[in-house]
A and B are shown apart, each in its own frame.
Chain A
Amino acid sequence: MSALLHAKDLVVAYETGRGRVQALDSLNLTVEPGETLAIVGESGSGKSTLGLAVGRLLPAVALKESGSLTLQGQEVFAAAPDALRRLRRDLLGFVFQNPMSALDPTMRVGRQVSRAAGGCGTAEMQALLVKAGLDEPERVAASYPHELSGGMAQRVVIAMAIARGPALLIADEPTASLDVSIRARVMKTLLDLQKDAGASLIVLTHDLHLAARSCQRLAVMYGGRVVEVGRSATVLSRPAHPYTRGLLAAAAGNEAPGEDLKPIPGLPPLLRQRAPDCSFAPRCPFAEARCTDLRPEARELDRREVVCHLAERVLVEASR
């Protein structure tokens, strides 16, 4: 089967008041139909830019400079307005971090959901709400968004995102704004619906635990590139990129009581142009001369793809 989403050497830059900032630096990524992929990265890594680029929802100051991004074989950035609308409507579903800003505060929920489903009837609309885990569809449908809790509102947003049976769901920090006690359940609903619909799911998050628990594949982004991608369990149990390894050591939650966290020194980079070297090198404990001389390219290693000259050494360290 051919890939659902395919990004090849994608370069996106922002024109800001302080000059050009390169958000995606020749990014390569493939999403197969039906799979779940978590994209993990810190702010500035380019993950949100990637998520928006898929629907060509980037702000006006962002420019796709080169490369290609295809969805079911269609070039997203070459689509005519009509084709783009069809593509967004029929192939994509979005779930954003804050459900309240995704819903129209002046319209009853039921009407919004049936509109999202293409003007379906009440029964179908309520069925969608039930599918999204809302037990009292009549009451929810008659409510305005502000009358719902955050978790319920996010379930409504999920119902709207799957209403037309999209091929790809993109969820940007879907549970970050929700209370911890309901996060797991909302995430499970999202995954169940994705599986039912046979859609692919991309979860953009900074939360490694969430990524590992919910998605089969994991892509780690740094400096506008995917620096490591493979099965979640493989990548997190034996990271081959020093940044993945650093993230795991820095994140509170994995440490034993009394054990120190090991922060990654320094700051994430702000790219002005295509990185001529490894952009993680200044913060990398493994770095040597070639890391600052030569731009690493993606290569296969130990059942994952990694962008690092020294991945073998990192792997050896990890197994010790």
Chain B
Amino acid sequence: MVAALTSLWRRDRLSALAFAILALLVFLGVFGPWLPLGDATQVAAGPRLSPPTWAFPMGTDELGRSFLPRVVEGIRYTFLLATVAVIITAILGTLLGMLAATVGGFLDMVVARVADVLFAFPALLAGLLVAAVVGPGAASVITVICIATLPLFMRVVRSASLSLAERGFVIAAQVAGATTWRVILRHILPNVMSVAIIQITYALSIAMIIESALSFLGLGAQPPRASLGSLLQVSSVYLTIAPWLVGFAGLTLSLAIVCVNLLGDSLRDAVEPLPGRTLT
């Protein structure tokens, strides 16, 4: 692990930096509540809307709560929702993509069309609809992220599986009498894993954007819970008197998304190096 990281640092500084930042954010998100960063919920811990000081490194919010633990709480909530949602879609989308390609026929047609429809469906509109039905909160955020990222997996995994389905080892297994499940689990899945993992990183960044957007609109995290989006929304009110609040919340969110994308790019480069010209 350490060796892999040092070699990554030597090859590609930017990706290594992105990885390090992301690791720090995840660490903060997971262990935040047990770290000596201050209490996120204690009202009037200090003056209201104080600029950054030694006691409050990111200043305080409109209720006098320390903003640093609030941001850490936001990271925790945003990352958690994004991760849970993406795990669900990754499993579902990969499975559907593989099944569609292997079974073919009607199922394939349905999966392809569903992917097209979901792809064309604006995530925010979906968010409003879902929140109206389910009510605002975690469940509706996860549902919307699933709707938005499912086609990413279905499409990419389906097309990767389609090309695998024509390969010698899959046909040989089918001729030998292998069942569809055997073909999928043994031959297709291990070979689409890498493309699915790359999609996971892109889906994560989309998931964070969606979570933040919904929370910004008040459809996601409900107070006193904080997510990066809801923090952004609340602090945007005080943009003119306490601009550092929007700055810290926005910077954290942007950093997280940029780093996830950079990580995805570097994963993709590692899995499919630029082919250059093929030699015959």
Q: With a CB–CB cut-off of 8 A, which chain A residues contact B273? A: 17
Contact of B280 (CB < 8 Å), options: A17, A48, A57, A61: A48
Residues facing B in A227-277 (CB within 8 A) are none
A49 x B276 contact (CB < 8 A): no
Nearest-CB distance from B171 to chain A (Å)?
Answer: 23
Q: Output the nearest chain B residue to A17 by Cβ-Cβ distance.
A: B273
Residues facing B in A161-191 (CB within 8 A) are 172-173
B276 x A172 contact (CB < 8 A): no
Contact of B277 (CB < 8 Å), options: A17, A43, A57, A173: A57
B280 x A59 contact (CB < 8 A): no
Q: Output the nearest chain B residue to A62 by Cβ-Cβ distance.
A: B276
What is the number of contacts between chain A and chain B, taking CB atoms within 8 Å?
A: 16
Please, how many residues of chain B have a CB less than 8 angstroms from a CB on the other chain?
Answer: 5
Q: Output the nearest chain A residue to B278 by Cβ-Cβ distance.
A: A59
Nearest-CB distance from B140 to chain A (Å)?
Answer: 44
Indicate if B279 sits at the interface (CB-CB under 8 A): yes
Q: With a CB–CB cut-off of 8 A, which chain A residues contact B279? A: 48-49, 59
The proximity string for B residues 259-280 relative to A, scoring 1 for CB distances below 8 Å and 0 otherwise, is 0000000000000010011011
A172 x B280 contact (CB < 8 A): yes
Q: With a CB–CB cut-off of 8 A, which chain A residues contact B280? A: 43, 48, 97, 172-173
Residues facing A in B232-280 (CB within 8 A) are 273, 276-277, 279-280
Could you tell me which B residues sit within 8 Å of A by CB distance? 273, 276-277, 279-280
Could you tell me which A residues sit within 8 Å of B by CB distance? 17, 43, 48-49, 52, 57-61, 97, 172-173
**Please, could you name 6 A-B residue pairs with CB atoms under 8 Å apart, sorted by A?**
A48-B279, A49-B279, A52-B277, A57-B277, A59-B276, A59-B277
Query: Beyond A57-B277, A173-B280: 8 further Cβ-contacts under 8 Å?
Result: A48-B279, A48-B280, A49-B279, A58-B277, A59-B276, A59-B279, A60-B276, A172-B280
The 7 closest A-B pairs by CB, nearest first: A59-B276, A59-B277, A48-B279, A48-B280, A61-B276, A60-B276, A97-B280
